[in-house]
Structure 1
């Protein structure tokens, strides 16, 4: 299996666990909605920035944000720097979902670290951070 597929398999395993826990906690979200929500900055994000970061069209990001808004996870508020623009930010419900998701992520990372051992875990993190430098234009 090539490296990208191996990374994707691990990513998907984590992604599925996070979404399952979030759904079990009463949040009706899809993996695509969760991926958009995780990119929202603490002080809010513009839709165009979310779309770019998630590498989806603005229309797709808009649909995902609208679904999150209906679920009470995000809200749109005026951008204090530009009265014509709106920011998308997490609601209290959304922040609670984010905390729950992060607990799952940390738990999975701990399982992986126990499986790989501290040295290989450190090397893997370092390698992925370095790889991100050449593959992620938004890093």
Structure 2
């Protein structure tokens, strides 16, 4: 199996588990919405930035942001650096899902460590962080 698929399968598993945990806690969000929601920067993001980060068209990002705004997870506010532009920001409602997702991630990491061992888990994390140095355009 090629390395791309070996990386994709656990990533998909993580996304599915985290989304299930958040949905089970009462948050109504789809996987597509979550992918956009997770990419909103701490100070907010422009729609074009979200589309690029989520690797979707600007129209798709706008549609998903509209849905998330109607559900109370995102808000649009004026961009302080450009009065003509708008920023998309997460709301308190969206931030309430973060601890749930983080707890689920911690459970997964513990399960994986039990399965492959502490040393290999540490090596996996270190290797992925090193790969991030050359593969993550948003770093």
TM (norm. structure 1) is 0.91
Query: Between Structure 1 and Structure 2, how many residues are aligned?
Result: 139
Alignment of 1:1-139 (within 5 A): 1-139=1-139
Offset from partner CA, 1:81-118 (integer Å, 9 cap, x none) = 11111111111101001222122122212221222222
> Gaps spanning 5+ residues in structure 2: where?
none
Q: Quick check: 1:27–1:71 contact (8 Å CA) kept in 2?
A: no
| TM-score, normalised by the number of residues in structure 2 | 0.91
**Structure 1 residue ranges without an equivalent (≥5):** none
**Aligned counterparts of 2:89 and 2:95: Cα–Cα separation in 1:** 9
CA RMSD of aligned residues (A): 1.4
Question: Matched residues in 1 for 2:138 and 2:126: separation?
Answer: 18
Deviations 1:47-66 (A, max 9, x none): 11111112222111111111
